[in-house]
Chain A
Amino acid sequence: MTYTADKPPHTETREELQRRIPGWGADLDPRDRPSVPRERHDTGATGAHWDFPERQEEKRPRERSVEHRTLTPVFGTVAPTHGLSGVIRRYAYRKYSEARAAHWLLLVAADRVDAVESHLRSFATTRPDNPITETGVLSEFTRHGISSRFGRKRADLNHIWIDPIVVAGPWLLAGGVLYSAVRAVTKRRS
């Protein structure tokens, strides 16, 4: 088989499969499946009662892909651009199409800037960011953190040690920089 014309046989017959698997073959006909054909023209099927939707009001300038002719009639309004991350994001949308790696890499960079900006801003509020509660890491103690990982053949053990560095690294780095700065200032004064 394989090196000859016949397909390697299965061990189970159709009848055996029908007995063993509830519903086996219920969608056997490839033409009678919900996503077949992939494209089917049926505008009446969706519930839309418009040719083109009314336009949602643009209450503040909304960034958009340069691959769109205009702003789409409906859009999300959560978390408008702001700060330095906003400057980067608006630039990425204005300057580069989705086809350009720069577009996406700038957006990823803006995400990191946004996180730093938001952490700093949170320290001026009554609810500063708390990496212990916000990472949910205490569930390691209540949800079998050790036995879920060790003594099992998990392939992710070779990289999960990086996660604490990704999460805590920037905090430790910022703390170190702050400590060095304070130390330098106090040394200079004394």
Chain B
Amino acid sequence: MRAMVYRGPYKVRVEEKDMPVIEHPNDAIVRVTRAAICGSDLHLYHGMMPDTRVGMTFGHEFIGVVEEVGPSVQNLSRGDRVMVPFNVYCGSCYFCARGLYSNCHNVNPNATAVGGIYGYSHTCGGYDGGQAEFVRVPFADVGPSVIPDWMDEEDALLLTDALATGYFGAQLGDIAEGDTVVVFGAGPVGLFSAKSAWLMGAGRVIVIDHLDYRLEKARIFANAETYNFAEYHDIVVHLKRITDFLGADVVIDAVGAEADGNFTQQLTATKLKLQGGSPTALNWAIDSARKGGTVSVVGAYGPIFSAVKFGDAFNKGLTLRMNQCPVKRQWPRLFEHIQNGYLKPSDIVTHRIPLEHIAEGYHIFSAKLDDCIKTVIVPSAA
């Protein structure tokens, strides 16, 4: 089959790869019809995530058609159109039994500090991802769901991570009616977090980024007030000014490990790989939240230490909440919001690229060329 393959930092290509096989009785093999490049794929692409091996296929956002099922699979059949959450999880361990699907203890031998994620390095279990024609899906009775007939396939694709994560980020903020919510990052997750904040009753939603085209999208798609941090000497002071020097009730870090805005953090994190991420957005979140407020983190960070301003969080009495999103918990409610017309996730897709051109897809997304927000990959067998 044809599959994207990592060749080292900033280098990917498409090559012939062995077809995935059933390795466990509850596995399924899915023929991928659409995949996406996620902002967190860029952490792998830039060589920041420990134990990212040459030969791995990335891609934790994908939908497809069931091609084959293992002997113990009861809930899926060949030919079913399925959406697959980015979490690989067993459904039965201590953590899954408590709804913490992203923290499953039975799928990742390489680390206990993170669950299983498709195509996301051996630190996340060593599973191939969906930027390929076919993919192995473990625990087929647990993770995937049949795509409802009424659902647009790109909406389904975005439910596998970006929308679910953005919505989860707003929930982690414990937003109360009338709260001022600041979202750092106007990428897909930030846009969805901003949109979700309104659903939870926010009185004011402010989005911060340095890419004007993304801020324009935040104004149109998420009805948000926006500021380009590159235009301000100190974005934290600006946020204090526009909140009458109170600060925001809730701040969401939807940027994660490659945040811009501080050269030293960028250099040590993304170039020298000496930090688990450049925590500039997280530090701004801590400093722009009001005392007693909440910081929600859904931007992804690696396992290496990061230079986070923990003392400010402590002294301000902040509540810090974070996790990888347990995707499937979000789906029933998000299905309702899509059906009611409150959310139209596929509105953020800007690029659709054939799998064979995935190297260009990664470069465009990484370098933020061509006003790129979200790239969908179309495999040749789709």
Residues of A within 8 A of B (CB): 1-3, 7-8, 10, 12, 14, 17, 20-28, 30, 33-36, 38-43, 45-54, 56-57, 62-65, 67-68, 71-79, 85, 89, 93, 98, 101, 104-105, 107-108, 110-112, 114-115, 117-119, 122, 127, 129-131, 133-140, 142-145, 148-149, 152-156, 158-160, 162-163, 166-167
Contacts and interface: CB of A to CB of B under 8 A. Distances in A.
Among B109, B112, B303, B363: residue with most chain A CB under 10 A: B109
B193 interface: no
B266 interface: yes
Nearest to B244: A8
Given A23-B198, A139-B364, A53 B139 contact: yes
Interface stretch (B92-100, B148-156, B308-316): B92-100
Contacts of A79: 53-56, 122, 126
Contacts of A78: 53, 55-57, 126-128
Contacts of A77: 23, 126
Given A27-B333, A54-B25, A163-B10, A108 B112 contact: no
Given A76-B122, A134-B13, A156-B210, 5 more contacts: A24-B198, A46-B142, A57-B23, A154-B210, A167-B11
Nearest to B70: A54
Nearest to B24: A56
Contact of A136 (B97, B243, B364): B364
Contacts of A3: 245
Contacts of A24: 198-199, 201
Contacts of A20: 223
Contacts of A107: 50-51, 123
22 contacts: A1-B246, A28-B177, A30-B174, A34-B171, A35-B99, A53-B24, A63-B110, A65-B110, A77-B23, A78-B55, A107-B51, A111-B50, A115-B47, A118-B7, A136-B359, A139-B363, A140-B363, A143-B360, A144-B370, A155-B229, A156-B368, A167-B10
A41 B142 contact: no
Interface string B49-79: 0111111110000000000000010110000
Interface residues of B, number: 117
The majority secondary structure among interface residues of chain A is loop
Contacts of A39: 98-100
Given A34-B171, A56-B23, A144 B201 contact: no
Contact of A25 (B168, B199, B332): B199
A128 B87 CA distance: 34
A53 B138 CA distance: 11
Contact of B9 (A21, A47, A167): A167
Nearest to B95: A39
B340 A23 contact: yes
Given A79-B56, A148-B371, A49 B230 contact: no
Interface of B: 7-13, 15, 23-26, 47, 50-57, 72, 74-75, 88-92, 96-101, 105-113, 116, 122-123, 125-128, 138-139, 141-142, 168, 171-172, 174-178, 180, 196, 198-201, 203-204, 210-212, 223, 228-231, 243-246, 260-261, 263, 266-267, 270-271, 273, 276, 302-305, 326, 329-330, 332-333, 337, 340-343, 359-364, 367-371
A101 B305 contact: yes
A76 B340 contact: no
Among B141, B203, B204, B362: residue with most chain A CB under 10 A: B203
B75 A47 contact: yes
A1 B105 CA distance: 48
Given A75-B107, A76-B128, A162-B271, A12 B364 contact: no
Contact of A155 (B75, B243, B261): B261
A23 B174 CA distance: 18
A183 to B, nearest CB: 28
B95 to A, nearest CB: 9
Contacts of B10: 135, 163, 166-167
A27 B171 CA distance: 9
A155 B360 CA distance: 22
Contacts of B110: 63-65, 93
B165 to A, nearest CB: 11
B112 to A, nearest CB: 4
Contacts of A127: 15
Contacts of A108: 50, 273, 304
A153 B359 CA distance: 26
Given A26-B340, A63-B109, A74-B138, A153 B231 contact: yes
B70 to A, nearest CB: 10
Contacts of B52: 111
B259 to A, nearest CB: 9
Contact of B26 (A34, A53, A118): A53
A89 to B, nearest CB: 7
